Amino acid sequence: MAAPRSVTRPPGASPPAAPRLLLLLLLLPPAPAAAMAHRRPRSQSGAWSPDVACGHRYIQGKILGGADALERRWPWQVSVHYGGFHVCGGSIIDEYWVLSAAHCFNRDKNMEAFDIYVGLVDLRFAGNHTQWFEVNKVIVHPTYEVYHPVGGDVALVQLKSRIVFSDSVLPVCIASPDVNLHNATCWSTGWGLVSPQGHVPNKLQEVQIPLISLPLCRLLYGHLSYIMPDMLCAGDIRDMRTVCEGDSGGPLVCEFNHTWLQVGIVSWGRGCVYPMYPAVYARVSYFSKWIRYHMEHTPPPSQPLPALARVLGVSVSVLAALLAVLPML
């Protein structure tokens, strides 16, 4: 029997087209996935997560303002911690995004010192549904402090990892530019001071407060330029109920047809010492297009290094095997 002959290519001959094409396909990322990786479609209900509808909760009933909030009553509530302490509130608007006030993330602060907690009712204890997150990116509205000392007081906080939704952790809907707030029932929530003496509550507080028109709010503050169109006023002047220090960044939400919309972000005011002045919020409907734009166009957080290393390891192994086989083809 004749000895098997080795198959050799003439000098300078290129490898067959099929292995080269296979190698090229392995090295190139899929075009549609690469182009659409950071864009998620928005559902008809307004939720930014494809599986969870925003603005719905699994507990009903009403509690008088100023009382402790029940667990699951405000599932979108966020506690922003800095250096291990609660400093501001916020709201869940997507599986990667939290809405808060820009002044909570001043430029002189170290972004790595922030921690975001969801599913939290009592600041002393983590509940069964409490989740902790690191901050990946903070996007502050470009008009912040430009036309007003606290104007444009809106911040989008992107988390490093995904929020796991449950009946205690859910997103709130964002008010659209054409929302009608006439006769709306609205609530403000947070862990701010509950008395002028400086008593800080451990449990999440809630208060039902009426909205106040901009002309009346300007009249109460005594200067027309204090209250701008991107702001919203709310407070119970008769019963002296308002938000206080520590509530900043927290949501003002209103119920429309059994769906909760966030209409305001706690921004500034005279505080508990002067409850006859309404609290001033950043008007969410004014910033809704900006919010949606950045949620759609901001790339997602990068993959954790261990997971990325495993993927790269597999790719390198496949590539090495192909390179070893090519000379024999």
Contact 88, 104 (CB under 8 A): yes
- The residue behind tokens 């599913």 is 119
Active-site residue among 86, 141, 148, 153? 153
Active-site residue among 49, 94, 103, 129? 103
Alpha carbons 278 and 147: distance in angstroms, whole number: 21
3-state secondary structure 2-29: CCCCCCCCCCCCCCCHHHHHHHHHHHCC
Cα–Cα nearest to 267, from 289, 291, 283: 283
Active-site residue among 79, 168, 188, 248? 248
Residue 103 annotated to the active site: yes
Q: For the purposes of burial, counting CB atoms within 10 Å of the CB of 230, is it exposed (0-12), middle (13-18) or buried (19 or more)? A: buried
CB hemisphere CA count around 234 (13 angstroms) = 30
DSSP state letters, 125-158: S--TT-EEEEEEEEEE-TTTTTSSTTTT--EEEE
How many other C-beta atoms can be found within 10 angstroms of the C-beta atom of residue 318? 13
CB hemisphere CA count around 269 (13 angstroms) = 32
Contact 322, 26 (CB under 8 A): yes
Cα–Cα nearest to 157, from 255, 79, 86, 50: 79
Query: Would you name the residues annotated as active-site residues?
Result: 103, 153, 248
